[in-house]
Amino acid sequence: MLLRFVSRVLLCVLVLAGCAPTDAGAPAWASDLATVRESRLPVQARETLRLIDAGGPFPYRKDGSVFGNFEKLLPARQRGYYHEYTVPTPGSRDRGARRIVTGRGDEIYYTDDHYDSFRAVLR
């Protein structure tokens, strides 16, 4: 009984710390990050993905610009590998904090806290 309780508490701690696997079917590029299914993203993020897939047009001038990965939360790649797109935030007077970042290898990342954390988007 105690062993079962301890193992459950440990699993909860690992999940909260972001150390536990989040999706068994995740691609290799997503293995070190929390994941989110595309269907679980906010509707505005899904619309931004639709625009990315269509090649635009994008509502913000900076959409499609190079993402520098200065926070080093994504895998290190050469400059120009990643590009960022705004995910509109309802009620925000500016671009808000939500972004989609794409990589040349079809990677898709979502942040809702202006690059403080990322989740790999699974399609």
**Cα 74 from Cα 109, distance rounded (Å):** 9
Examine the residue annotation and report whether 47 is marked as an active-site residue of this protein: no
Q: In 3D, which of 35, 18, 15, 17 has the Cα closest to residue 109?
A: 35
114 an active-site residue? yes
Could you tell me how far CA 95 lies from the centroid of its own chain?
Answer: 17
Positions marked catalytic: 84, 114
